[in-house]
Amino acid sequence: MRTPTIGFIYPDHAAEDDYPRAAALLDAALPVAHIYGTDLHAIAELLDLGSPEKLSHGASLLAPEKPDVVIWACTSGSFVYGSEGARGQVESLAEAAGVPASSTSFAFVAAARALDVRRVAVVASYPEEVARLFVDFLADADIEVVSMSSAGIDTAAEVGTLTPEQVMALAVTNDHADAQALLIPDTAMHTLEVLPRLEAALGKPVLTANQVTIWEGLRLAGVTPFAPELGMLFAEGSRDVDH
């Protein structure tokens, strides 16, 4: 079987080194193209960051890689549009790229469904106003958020500087006993290296932005990835799920 190529459109620079880390564990090519805008976690700026023009440009940057799938690797720059708007965003991206497309927000929904998770805790790096929009997005997908914490970090660049110990502390401190899984929705946060430790500490699946984004790309390419180093999601395999 040919090695799949999953292209990722990533905003600015923060934690994109999670992608080569994952590629080393998976039999897949995971090229990343960067688009740019202000990295503020603020609604107007996020709407601009996820605009059709910017994503179309990202698709053109990935075109030489001949990707099988293209993913908008940004949670806040997709859920800020709401469920219907985010769906339109993905449809426009698929048209521009000429291949199936998705985004990190839909990746979280698909990953939760693959693990049969309906109640979650959300540990958000964003200011509360933005984090609440992710809660609404999940609610539209019939995923109940039993608790939500907001770290109130204004920029993606700052999130990218969080150490593994700081990520661990954020997650462990803000878990909830009633949650079947913990969700950490920011592709600017380095999370792949701490996933096994997090899941061992919490005793439940932990779904993080770069993790689910990579998994979603492989799923759409028809691949069932197996890499337990990337958490329970990659150890369980994937089921057929709908957005």
Residue 242 included in any domain:
no
Same domain, 185 and 74: no
Q: How many CB atoms lie within 10 A of CB 53?
A: 11
Alpha-carbon gap, residue 44 to 81, rounded angstroms: 10
Q: Name the stretches of the chain with pLDDT < 50.
A: 238-243
Please list the residues that pair with 120 across neighbouring strands: 145, 181
Phi, psi of 240 (to 5 degrees): -75, 120
Q: Are residues 197 and 227 in the same domain?
A: no
Whether 12 and 84 share a structural domain: yes
Provide the residue range defining the domain that includes 51.
6-107+210-236
Number of H helices, E strands in the chain: 12, 8
Number of structural domains, the chain? 2
pLDDT per residue as tens digits for the range 93-144: 999 999 999 999 999 999 999 999 999 999 999 889 999 999 999 999 999 9
Q: Is residue 112 part of a domain?
A: no
- Asked if residue 10 belongs to a domain, the reply is yes
> Would 1 be classed as within a structural domain?
no
Note the pLDDT of residue 236: 63
pLDDT value at residue 41: 83
CATH number, domain with residue 134: 3.40.50.12500
Are 122 and 181 in contact, with CB atoms under 8 Å apart? no
Sheet harboring 101-103: ordered strands across?
A: 32-35, 6-11, 69-72, 101-103
